[in-house]
């Protein structure tokens, strides 16, 4: 089955969506629903057709099934993650917690379980598109914990690990304030008694280095026998 391209109305025509689904009937139905919601929609039945589409045009939002021929949705998301700026929505019949966690770890921004109301899917696409699209009117520093993205005023982005993202989020809640070791451990969701000081020092040292390499203005201050604080520029 060749890739599918469907003309759309102009309402959401700036949002380019690719659906990867190996069930032809479901693929056609999803393309019909999303195109009539105003998105520019293309369809592929597997990773090979997806790659063919991406050779000719970019994608804003990828709606990805898991059980696909040749290459699973997990594998596709993993190889695209970091290489592509598109948001990834996994849409699958697999609703087990382990599958959800694996999907999110492999690069999915949103994990949805079939069957799904088209209004929820449309809402998720619009929401994710707003999250990953820079606001040209916004010139300040921003941090998105959900996407684990730090956005610079000049448009540069730094993606953080879940551990680094939660640590930075804690420090940004009250810039300049010192957070002690216990507060950092609680923010990471780790058992306080099982965490040696050396591990917390390593976490903070790694995050400090990442931020400094990204922009020297982003600084984490260590206060001996007290804790840590963020002393960089203000965030919106």
The torsion angles phi and psi of 32, rounded to 5 degrees, stand at: -60, -45
Which domain CATH number covers 65? 3.40.50.2300
**Which of these three, 132, 165, 194, is where a domain ends?**
132
Beta-bridged to residue 141, according to DSSP, are: 235
Rg (CA), the chain: 20
| pLDDT at position 146 | 81
Residues 42 and 153 in one domain: no
Residues 91 and 162 in one domain: no
The helix (run of H) or strand (run of E) holding residue 74 is: helix 73-80
CB atoms within 10 A of CB 111: 19
Residue 63 forms part of a structural domain: yes
> Could you report the per-residue pLDDT of 80-122, keeping only the tens digit for each?
876 777 889 999 898 888 888 888 888 888 888 888 888 889 8
Residues 190 and 122 in one domain: no
Residues 124 and 157 in one domain: no
8 and 14 Cβ atoms separated by less than 8 Å:
no
In the chain, the number of structural domains is 2
Residues 122 and 13 in one domain: yes
185: domain range?
A: 142-230
> Could you report the per-residue pLDDT of 122-146, keeping only the tens digit for each?
888 988 888 777 655 556 888 888 8
- Kindly report the average pLDDT of the chain as a whole number: 83
**Which of these three, 132, 165, 195, is where a domain ends?**
132
Quote the CA–CA distance of 23 and 53 in Å, as a whole number: 18
Sequence-distant (≥ 6) Cβ neighbours of residue 231 within 8 angstroms: 175, 176, 219, 220, 221
Sequence-distant (≥ 6) Cβ neighbours of residue 68 within 8 angstroms: 20, 22, 45, 46, 47, 76
Residue 105 forms part of a structural domain: yes
């Amino acid at each position: 089955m060749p890739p599918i391209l469907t003309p759309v109305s102009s309402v959401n025509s700036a949002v380019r969506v690719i659906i990867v689904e190996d069930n032809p009937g479901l693929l056609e139905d999803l393309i019909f629903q999303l195109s009539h919601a105003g998105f520019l929609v293309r369809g592929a039945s597997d990773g090979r057709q997806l790659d063919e589409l991406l050779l000719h045009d970019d994608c804003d939002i990828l709606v990805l099934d898991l059980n696909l021929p040749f290459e699973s949705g997990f594998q596709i998301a993993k190889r695209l993650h970091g290489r592509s700026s598109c948001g990834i929505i996994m849409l699958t019949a697999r609703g087990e917690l382990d599958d959800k966690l694996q999907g999110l770890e492999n690069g999915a921004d949103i994990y949805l379980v079939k069957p799904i109301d088209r209004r929820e899917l449309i809402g998720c696409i619009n929401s994710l598109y707003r999250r990953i699209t820079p606001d040209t009117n916004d010139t300040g520093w921003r941090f998105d914990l959900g996407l684990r993205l730090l956005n610079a005023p000049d448009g540069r982005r730094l993606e953080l690990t879940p551990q680094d993202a939660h640590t930075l989020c804690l420090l940004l809640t009250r810039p300049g304030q010192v957070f002690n070791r216990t507060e950092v451990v609680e923010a990471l969701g780790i058992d306080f008694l099982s965490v040696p000081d050396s591990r917390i020092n390593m976490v903070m040292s790694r995050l400090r280095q990442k931020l400094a390499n990204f922009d020297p203005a982003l600084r984490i201050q260590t206060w001996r026998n007290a804790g840590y604080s963020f002393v960089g520029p203000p965030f919106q």
